[in-house]
Amino acid sequence: MSGTPSQRQEHRAAPAGAARDDGRTRTTDRRTRVRERRGRASDRRTRVTVLIALAANLLIAAAKAVGGVISGSPALLSEAAHSVADSFNEVFLLAALRRSRRPADARHPFGYGKERFFWSLLAAVGIFVMGGCFSFFQGFEALRQGTHETTRGYLVGLIVLGVALIAEGGSLLRALHQVRKRGGRAALRDPALRTVVAEDGTAVLGVTLAIAGMALHMATGQVAWEASASLAIGVLLVYVAYRLGREARDQLIGQAADPELSGRIRALLRAQPEIDSVAELFTMKLGLDSTLVAARIDLVPGLDSERVEEVADRIKHSLAATFPAADQIFLDVTDSPDGETRQSPAATGERGGA
């Protein structure tokens, strides 16, 4: 073989380094595909839960509306509005599941994961406007004008509410079963599943309040009981809408990763022998299972440009392998006393982090 010994050594080292890079890239791609398959499978289960809730709410809304008109019950009409609002919200959640899994493109280089939060915010607005506001209206109208219900109307209303309680309870049990299968409270990070659980839980409480208000109205003849039940349903819906809306807002405007995850990322960086200190660490949730990580790190002195690039690349691969959700990793590397920053692609980061 021609060339000096040092040249021959470089020829042997280059393919080895390229092979390592190719192996890391294939490993990262494989992990990405596995994560995407798991995400799609989880979305399919959530979609079934949402469809069950949608079917239940459409049937219940129709039954409540008919029963409310026949009985003249403000609490039953409030519950009908509640079920209509939930039905629209389920449509929003189905849109969130479908649109948030679209791949990244030139206009959205970090993907469409935040669409999940946007449609969840619309669902919260729907609960507030269609459910809460209408319930307040029905309650105040009943107090102002009163209602006159017949025994037949009471019976129709109570039967409808009893059937609704069974249906809403079944939908809630289905949602809670999925939460348990996906790891308990951690599963509620999914805004679609969290919204379904909140809606079904609120529906069960709302139907219970409506039954209590109608029964007390029938026993005492005082419409104030039923009007109070309608107002209580309104308060409940407004509170749930506020909580869901606040969580969706935080995620839309750029919520950091969980402190526990951020702490583990910082600990991994500090454990690298080439890192002298971690000056700053920023994280942001880009979707349900996508997180951006940006760190400013100081390397120990004495590393040349090639070594800096190799170290930065290895650290990024290590982060991606240890934390699968961290699929967007950017490093700002300094290795000189005066804080001069090297701007090589491996040092500053590339989309995908590896």
User: How far separated are the first and last CA of the chain, in Å rounded?
Assistant: 35
Residue 94 has pLDDT above 90, yes or no: no
Alpha carbon distance 89, 126 (integer Å): 7
The confidence score (pLDDT) of residue 296 equals 93
Alpha carbon distance 121, 248 (integer Å): 5
The confidence score (pLDDT) of residue 330 equals 92
The architecture of the domain spanning 257-348 is 2-Layer Sandwich (3.30)
pLDDT digits (tens, 9 = 90+) for 133-182: 888 888 888 888 766 666 777 788 888 888 888 888 888 888 888 888 87
pLDDT digits (tens, 9 = 90+) for 257-306: 888 999 999 999 999 988 989 999 999 998 888 899 999 999 888 888 88
Write phi, then psi, for 253 (nearest 5 degrees): -85, 0
- Mean predicted confidence (pLDDT) in 3-11: 45
42 sits in which H/E element: helix 5-71
The domains of the chain are located at: 28-252, 257-348
pLDDT digits (tens, 9 = 90+) for 14-62: 444 444 455 545 555 555 555 566 666 777 888 888 888 888 888 888 8
Alpha carbon distance 289, 275 (integer Å): 28
The confidence score (pLDDT) of residue 343 equals 46
Residue 205, classified by CB atoms within 10 Å of its CB into exposed (0-12), middle (13-18) or buried (19+), is: middle
Residue 65 has pLDDT above 60, yes or no: yes
Give percent of the chain with pLDDT exceeding 70.
82
Residue 229 has pLDDT above 50, yes or no: yes
CA dihedral 103, 108, 113, 118 (to 10 degrees): -130
Residues in the chain: 354
Whole-number mean pLDDT of the chain? 80
The confidence score (pLDDT) of residue 262 equals 92
Write phi, then psi, for 101 (nearest 5 degrees): -95, 5
Superfamily (CATH H level) for 28-252: Cation efflux protein transmembrane domain (1.20.1510.10)
Confidence of residue 71 (pLDDT cuts 50, 70, 90): confident
